[in-house]
């Protein structure tokens, strides 16, 4: 009787193990924290729009939940308290001046001369001198999703830092490979907004990187509009239309995909060909969400003072007359119509490139193999038990 | 000079950023300072250049901390180029226990703060002998007012709760004696100062909008000062927020000021130049001052040109070379002569700066003019900053007042910072040189290679009409 009980229980356990998948494999690796590296690599007052781009993304990322401790902000010069700024302490990305990007709570980690190629690559690879403070380090681990946003002047396979030095696409690709070897990221979204931006990710060879560039080889990236009260262009087209889309995303959004974000900008609007490319992405690229990179999976409680209330540009009913003498509303309506017109045409040829989709890693194969071995072992064990039970019956009968 | 323009109410900071660190022992100061400066610049969002050895140095005879004599254990670094903006205010506010959510600090709005005549923030941490830590944060603002009202100064009255961590929230206003003109009425009334203690007012949910409307017609067209200090001590939660306000008219400048400082460059081209510092004694007594001047290595100072002239005498003042041993620190010996040279440190190229420290005795109304000449040095290509054509900012000189007999507080004064234009190279030259040499090399080598490896027989053969050809005999 005891033996029967024992064998029944054993059988049940084995059956359960057979019909439920084993816990050995973890094919879908989820991230457990988010980081952002936002770099404005240009110096001098006339590059105001680059810092407006960078701070717009900084704002978005903060609003969607990434805390300051997980954001590395590199601004190559001081614009807000510059002597040339008519609005001290304020940086705008729109000539309406409806949002002060600098706000009351901004933490800049690398400023001025510290924004250079060496520090950028040291930040990515984590190879710092021993007494570099904590806020200048990218303390990511293998479960971190990192958003890397670069803006400035660039060209064919390079990005210019501070008007003096360049970082090349090979450097960045090697830095990402070092990060991969050291398990410093889970997935990276690399957004770059310069002239000929797409060339900068020609050389990536590490897995799990998604890259968005705003212009092809031979194309320039254009600013969006000019602000006569400040005297310079205040924002670039790519960032302007990105913000139009991202402003509609709330924290905790779980259905807006990266593809949708990318398709919201048409080449006609930004006057250059953008590209979204996935390098050896482990999961389905079409399922990658915007909030995987722009938001945080932790619940971040933001204090009411530090809340940034956004006003969607599209809904801003402003009847002012801008520098060109046209009414602003008319401009926006035109853009909206153009967008509708060319939406379906671009859908026919999406600028998404998916390279090496669903690549089976060696690790996955090993996991599958061991799964099969285990299952085989279980089946053999069942047969053995039945066999021994039979033998016992025969012996006891005799 | 800030104290001249705005009055002497607090310790003004030099332009940019400044870091003063005093260590327990003299050994290994540079590496300790490097660690400290990196961590602190990480906290406050300033650049890491504080630890740069070509800038930082040790002033031996300037005492920053009035509590103890700290000579030769203090390391000092000044960055005049450092921008000060919201990203520096944010961590400063985060050090307060209630940040900017409660208490007096909720008045601080960076949009207003960075639109003023003068603003500076400082944090001072000292450890006393009983091993208790004193943490003092100071914010100094110079505001021009049409109307003395909180909502005018800060853009908002004081709404909201008082910080529950502070044992006392106090607003102290100096320089006004007619307390009846204040609304609400002050609790403390002293000699030329009034005080408001804010415990109950705000917890009753009433806005605190300090308003001063003088009943008489007082001439108040000068500058008003706001000094918000916040002190924490480890022993008890002794949190004291002081708000000082001082009204100064133009006529009061000569009354309150002790010295007048000026410093400028005497330049004559891209090769040589000179630095001149002028100090005027505005007091009625003799002043004992020490001057500390540190010039970076690319200003190659010639110390034999160090001269001091006075407006009271025709000839130059003789500089007594004291160059004291480091153990001797007797104050009475320092000021025995009119001008003594306390210390000289010569510079090292691409290394440490050149330093000289003088002890001066000024009679009332006397002006000293201290001048020294230099030759401009060449920087390596990599040492030029990214905007090298702007020039280099030279840190201000520090004048510190030593006064035991006169019973003055030990005060520190800073001169203006200077902007020095060095001969900058043409930064496009490496690119040009590479382009030209590679082009030239390519042309030579390319044609060389073509000639060597080109195929024979590609030219068309002309059909010769002559049928008989004399071939040479084989030798």
Q: Give pLDDT tens digits for B324-363.
A: 654 455 555 778 888 988 889 999 998 899 999 999 999 9
B131, B171: one domain: yes
A163-to-A160, B48, B79, B387, B427 alpha-carbon distances in Å: 6, 21, 23, 9, 11
Strands B320-321, B339-345: pairing is parallel
Residue B202 has pLDDT above 70, yes or no: no
| Residue A40 a catalytic site member | no
Within a domain: residue A5?
no
Collect all residues of chain B within an 8 Å Cβ-Cβ radius of residue A89: 85-86, 110-111, 113-115
| Contact (CB<8Å) B113/A134 | no
Does residue A56 contact residue A101 with C-beta atoms inside 8 Å?
yes
- Out of A26-30, A53-57, A304-308, A351-355, which region has the weakest mean confidence (pLDDT)? A304-308
Residues, chain B: 475
The residue in chain A having the minimum alpha-carbon distance to the alpha carbon of residue B51 is A131
Q: Nearest CA to B172 among B198, B206, B149?
A: B198
pLDDT at B429: 87
Q: Which of residues 343-402 of B touch A (CB under 8 A)?
A: 385-387
pLDDT at B140: 85
What DSSP string runs through B10-38? Answer: S-PPPSSEEEEEE-SSSTTHHHHHHHHHH
Closest CB to A88 among B35, B91, B114: B114
- Out of A23-37, A314-328, B29-43, which region has the weakest mean confidence (pLDDT)? A314-328
Distance CA B199, CA B229 (A): 17
Cβ of A270: how many Cβ atoms within 10 Å?
22
B191, B331: one domain: no
Distance CA A149, CA A190 (A): 6
Phi and psi at residue B89, to the nearest 5°: -70, -35
Q: Which of A50, A195, A214, A224 is catalytic?
A: A195
Q: Nearest CA to A285 among A297, A293, A273, A277?
A: A277
Strands B240-248, B168-174: pairing is parallel
B402-to-B3, B126, B357, B395 alpha-carbon distances in Å: 18, 21, 14, 22
Residue A22 has pLDDT above 50, yes or no: no
Does residue A156 contact residue A192 with C-beta atoms inside 8 Å?
no
pLDDT at B1: 64
Does residue A226 contact residue A232 with C-beta atoms inside 8 Å?
yes
Does residue B419 contact residue B392 with C-beta atoms inside 8 Å?
yes
Find which of A44, A74, A88, A301 to mutate to test the B interface (most B CBs within 10 Å of its CB).
A88
B220, B340: one domain: no
What DSSP string runs through A291-315? Answer: HHHHS-SS-PPPPGGG------GGG
Share of residues in chain B with pLDDT > 70 (%): 76
Cβ of A34: how many Cβ atoms within 10 Å?
28
| Contact (CB<8Å) B85/A43 | no
Nearest-neighbour CA in chain A from B387: distance (Å): 8
Nearest-neighbour CA in chain B from A68: distance (Å): 11
Q: What's the pLDDT tens digit per position in B235-275?
A: 222 233 333 333 333 334 445 678 889 999 998 788 999 99
Collect all residues of chain A within an 8 Å Cβ-Cβ radius of residue B101: 303, 305
Share of residues in chain A with pLDDT > 70 (%): 76
* Lookup result for tokens 């090298």: B388
B294, B415: one domain: yes
Q: Using 50, 70 and 90 to split pLDDT, how confident is the model at A364?
A: low
Distance CA B303, CA B51 (A): 26
Q: Using 50, 70 and 90 to split pLDDT, how confident is the model at B407?
A: very low
pLDDT at B243: 38
* Lookup result for tokens 């000189």: B397
Inter-helix orientation angle A362-397/A2-19, to 10°? 160
Distance CA B371, CA B155 (A): 46
Within a domain: residue B155?
yes
Residues, chain A: 398
* Lookup result for tokens 């990480």: B42
Distance CA B82, CA B16 (A): 4
The residue ranking higher by pLDDT, A128 or B327, is A128
Cβ of A107: how many Cβ atoms within 10 Å?
20
B411, B264: one domain: yes
Collect all residues of chain A within an 8 Å Cβ-Cβ radius of residue B87: 106-108, 111
Residue A21 has pLDDT above 90, yes or no: no
C-alpha B38, offset from chain centre: 17
Distance CA A77, CA B52 (A): 20
- Out of A77-86, A127-136, B446-455, which region has the weakest mean confidence (pLDDT)? B446-455
Does residue B372 contact residue B306 with C-beta atoms inside 8 Å?
yes
Looking up residue B324, the CATH number of its domain turns out to be 2.60.40.740
Closest CB to B87 among A107, A133, A136: A107
pLDDT at A299: 59
Structural domain containing residue A72: 33-361
Q: ipTM of this model?
A: 0.81
What DSSP string runs through A247-267? Answer: TTPPTT--S-BHHHHHHTS-H
| Residue A86 a catalytic site member | no
Collect all residues of chain B within an 8 Å Cβ-Cβ radius of residue A114: 47-48
Does residue B160 contact residue B208 with C-beta atoms inside 8 Å?
no
pLDDT at B63: 76
Does residue B227 contact residue B10 with C-beta atoms inside 8 Å?
yes
Residue B472 has pLDDT above 70, yes or no: no
A321-to-A205, A228, B394 alpha-carbon distances in Å: 49, 12, 47
Q: What is the b/e burial string over B351-390, where b = at least 16 CB atoms within 10 angstroms of the residue's CB?
A: ebbbbbbbbbbbeeebbbbbebbbebeebeeeebbbbbee
Within a domain: residue B248?
no
Distance CA A369, CA A338 (A): 54
Name the DSSP class of B217: -
- Out of A112-126, B199-213, B271-285, which region has the weakest mean confidence (pLDDT)? B199-213
Nearest-neighbour CA in chain A from B233: distance (Å): 26
pLDDT at A324: 40
What DSSP string runs through B106-125? Answer: GG--HHHHTTSSEEEEEEEE
B9, B153: one domain: yes
Q: Which of residues 110-169 of B touch A (CB under 8 A)?
A: 110-111, 113-115
Find which of B111, B159, B384, B393 to mutate to test the A interface (most A CBs within 10 Å of its CB).
B111
The residue ranking higher by pLDDT, B126 or A187, is A187
Collect all residues of chain B within an 8 Å Cβ-Cβ radius of residue A90: 111
pLDDT at B158: 81
Structural domain containing residue B409: 259-420
B206, B274: one domain: no
pLDDT at A316: 33
Three-state DSSP state, A138: coil
The residue in chain A having the minimum alpha-carbon distance to the alpha carbon of residue B31 is A131
Closest CB to A89 among B35, B82, B86: B86
pLDDT at B154: 82
What DSSP string runs through A185-215? Answer: -SEEEEEEESTTGGGGGTT--SSSEEEEES-
Share of residues in chain B with pLDDT > 90 (%): 22
Residue B233 has pLDDT above 70, yes or no: no
B206, B308: one domain: no
Looking up residue A151, the CATH number of its domain turns out to be 3.40.50.1460
Find which of B87, B90, B143 to mutate to test the A interface (most A CBs within 10 Å of its CB).
B87
B346, B409: one domain: yes
- CB-facing half-sphere around the CA of A45: CA atoms within 13 A: 9
Which segments of B183-267 does DSSP mark as H helices, in order?
A: 200-203, 253-256
Q: Average of pLDDT values for B307-314? A: 89
Residue A57 has pLDDT above 80, yes or no: yes
Find which of B91, B98, B110 to mutate to test the A interface (most A CBs within 10 Å of its CB).
B110
| Contact (CB<8Å) B386/A113 | yes
Q: Using 50, 70 and 90 to split pLDDT, how confident is the model at B155?
A: confident
Provide the terminal-to-terminal Cα distance of chain B, rounded to the nearest Å. 101
Q: Average of pLDDT values for A358-385? A: 74
Structure tokens at B270: 């891209």
Exposed/middle/buried for residue B291 (C-beta within 10 Å: 0-12, 13-18, 19+): buried
- Out of A148-157, B60-69, B102-111, which region has the weakest mean confidence (pLDDT)? B60-69
Within a domain: residue B315?
yes
Distance CA B370, CA B340 (A): 12
Within a domain: residue A18?
no
| Contact (CB<8Å) B101/A89 | no
User: In sequence order, which residues have a C-beta less than 8 Å from that of residue A179 and are 6 or more positions away?
Assistant: A124, A125, A126, A140, A185, A188, A206
B42 touches chain A (CB under 8 A): yes
Q: Average of pLDDT values for B412-424? A: 89
Closest CB to B386 among A89, A162, A305: A162
Within a domain: residue B447?
no
pLDDT at B238: 28
User: In sequence order, which residues have a C-beta less than 8 Å from that of residue A309 and are 6 or more positions away?
Assistant: none
| Contact (CB<8Å) B90/A114 | no
Within a domain: residue B156?
yes
Q: What's the pLDDT tens digit per position in B385-400?
A: 888 888 899 999 999 8
Q: Using 50, 70 and 90 to split pLDDT, how confident is the model at A26?
A: very low
Q: What's the pLDDT tens digit per position in A71-89?
A: 999 999 999 998 899 999 8
Helix H, strand E, coil C: the string for A325-348 is: CCEHHHHHHHHHHHHHHHHHHHHH
Q: How many domains does chain A have?
A: 1
Structure tokens at A243: 């913000």
Within a domain: residue B244?
no
Q: How many domains does chain B have?
A: 2
pLDDT at B249: 34
Does residue A136 contact residue A128 with C-beta atoms inside 8 Å?
yes
pLDDT at B200: 55
Within a domain: residue A388?
no
Q: Write down which residue in B380, B395, B420 finishes a domain.
A: B420
B129, B219: one domain: yes
| Contact (CB<8Å) A104/B86 | yes
Within a domain: residue A223?
yes
pLDDT at B230: 34
Q: What's the pLDDT tens digit per position in A221-265?
A: 899 999 999 999 999 999 999 999 999 998 888 889 999 999 998
Within a domain: residue B464?
no
Distance CA A122, CA A119 (A): 5
Q: What rounded mean pLDDT belongs to chain A?
A: 80
Does residue A146 contact residue A140 with C-beta atoms inside 8 Å?
yes
Collect all residues of chain A within an 8 Å Cβ-Cβ radius of residue B83: 78, 81-82, 111-112
Collect all residues of chain B within an 8 Å Cβ-Cβ radius of residue A106: 86-87, 90
Cα angle vertex B174, ends B170, B178, to 5°?
A: 105
Phi and psi at residue B15, to the nearest 5°: -60, 140
Within a domain: residue B383?
yes
A382-to-A18, A396, B41, B404 alpha-carbon distances in Å: 11, 21, 67, 98
What is the side-by-side strand order in the sheet with A158-161?
Answer: A154-155, A158-161, A165-168
B286, B324: one domain: yes
B269, B321: one domain: yes
């Amino acid at each position: 009787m005891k033996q029967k009980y024992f064998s029944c229980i054993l059988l049940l356990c084995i059956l359960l193990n057979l019909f439920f998948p084993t816990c050995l494999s973890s094919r879908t690796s989820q991230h457990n924290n988010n980081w952002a590296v936002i770099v404005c690599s240009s110096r001098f007052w006339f590059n105001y729009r680059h810092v407006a781009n960078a701070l717009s993304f900084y704002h978005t990322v903060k609003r969607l939940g990434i805390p300051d401790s997980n954001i590395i902000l590199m601004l190559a010069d001081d614009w807000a308290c510059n002597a040339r700024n008519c609005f001290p302490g304020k940086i705008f990305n729109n000539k309406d001046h409806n949002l002060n990007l600098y706000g009351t709570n901004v933490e800049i980690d690398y400023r001025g001369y510290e924004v250079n190629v060496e520090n950028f690559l040291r930040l990515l690879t984590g190879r710092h001198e021993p007494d570099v403070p904590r806020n200048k380090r990218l303390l990511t681990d293998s479960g971190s999703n990192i958003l890397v946003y670069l803006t400035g002047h660039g060209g064919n396979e390079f990005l210019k830092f501070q008007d003096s030095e360049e970082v090349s696409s090979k450097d960045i690709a090697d830095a990402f490979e070092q990060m991969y070897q050291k398990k410093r990221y889970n997935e990276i979204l690399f957004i770059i907004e310069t002239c000929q931006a797409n060339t900068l990710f020609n050389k990536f060879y590490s897995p799990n990187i998604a890259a968005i560039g705003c212009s092809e080889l031979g194309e320039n990236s254009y600013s969006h509009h000019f602000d006569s009260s400040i005297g310079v262009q205040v924002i670039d087209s790519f960032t302007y239309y990105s913000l139009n889309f991202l402003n509609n995303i709330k924290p905790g959004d779980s259905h807006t995909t990266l593809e949708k974000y990318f398709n919201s900008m048409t080449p006609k609007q930004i006057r250059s060909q953008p590209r979204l490319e996935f390098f050896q992405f482990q999961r389905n690229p079409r399922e990658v969400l915007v909030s995987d990179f722009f938001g945080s999976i932790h619940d971040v409680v933001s204090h009411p003072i530090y809340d940034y209330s956004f006003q969607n540009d599209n809904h801003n009913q402003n009847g002012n007359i801008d520098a060109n003498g046209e009414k602003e509303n008319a401009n926006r309506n035109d853009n909206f119509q153009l967008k509708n017109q060319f939406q379906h045409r671009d859908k026919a040829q999406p600028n998404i490139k998916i390279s090496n989709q669903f690549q089976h890693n060696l690790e996955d194969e090993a996991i599958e193999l061991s799964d099969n071995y285990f299952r085989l072992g279980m089946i053999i064990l069942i047969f053995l038990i039945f066999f021994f039970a039979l033998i016992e019956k025969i012996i006891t009968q005799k | 000079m800030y104290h001249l323009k705005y009055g002497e109410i607090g310790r003004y900071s030099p332009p940019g950023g400044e870091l003063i660190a005093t260590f327990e022992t003299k050994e290994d100061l540079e590496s300790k300072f490097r660690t400290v400066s990196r961590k602190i610049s990480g906290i406050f969002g300033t650049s890491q250049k504080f630890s740069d050895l070509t800038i930082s140095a040790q002033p031996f005879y300037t005492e920053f901390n009035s509590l103890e004599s700290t000579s030769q254990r203090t390391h000092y670094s000044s960055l005049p180029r450092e921008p000060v903006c919201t990203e520096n205010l944010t961590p400063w506010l985060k050090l307060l226990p209630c940040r900017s959510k409660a208490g007096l600090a909720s008045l601080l709005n960076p949009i207003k703060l960075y639109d003023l005549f003068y603003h500076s923030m400082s944090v001072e941490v000292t450890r006393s002998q009983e091993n208790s830590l004193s943490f003092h944060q100071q914010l100094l603002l110079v505001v021009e007012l049409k109307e003395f009202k909180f909502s005018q100064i800060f853009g908002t009255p004081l709404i909201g709760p008082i910080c529950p961590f502070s044992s006392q929230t106090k607003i102290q206003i100096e320089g006004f004696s007619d307390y009846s003109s204040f609304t609400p009425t002050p609790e403390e009334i002293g000699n030329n100062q009034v005080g408001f203690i804010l415990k109950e007012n705000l917890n009753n949910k009433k806005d605190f909008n300090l308003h001063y409307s003088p009943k008489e017609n007082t001439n108040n067209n000068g500058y008003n000062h706001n000094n918000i200090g916040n002190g924490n001590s480890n022993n008890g939660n002794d949190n004291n927020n002081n708000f000082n306000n001082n009204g100064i008219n133009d006529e009061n400048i000569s009354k309150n000021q002790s010295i007048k400082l000026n410093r400028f460059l005497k330049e004559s081209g891209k090769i040589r130049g000179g630095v001149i510092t002028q100090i005027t004694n505005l007091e009625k007594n003799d002043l004992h001052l020490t001057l500390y001047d540190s010039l970076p290595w690319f200003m190659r100072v010639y110390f034999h040109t160090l001269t001091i002239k006075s407006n009271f005498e025709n000839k130059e003042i003789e500089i007594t070379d004291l160059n004291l041993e480091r153990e001797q620190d007797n104050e009475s010996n320092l000021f025995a002569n009119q001008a003594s040279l306390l210390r000289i440190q010569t510079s090292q190229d691409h290394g440490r700066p050149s330093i000289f420290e003088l002890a001066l005795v000024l009679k009332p109304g006397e002006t000293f003019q201290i001048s020294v000449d230099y030759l401009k040095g060449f920087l390596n290509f990599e040492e030029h900053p990214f905007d090298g054509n702007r020039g280099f900012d030279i840190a201000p000189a520090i004048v510190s007042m030593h006064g035991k007999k006169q019973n003055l507080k030990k005060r520190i004064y800073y001169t203006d910072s200077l902007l020095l234009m060095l001969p900058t190279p043409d930064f496009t030259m490496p690119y040009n040189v590479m382009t030209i040499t590679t082009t030239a090399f390519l042309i030579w080598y390319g044609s060389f290679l073509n000639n060597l490896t080109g195929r024979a027989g590609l030219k068309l053969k002309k059909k010769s009409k002559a049928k008989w050809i004399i071939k040479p005999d084989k030798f």
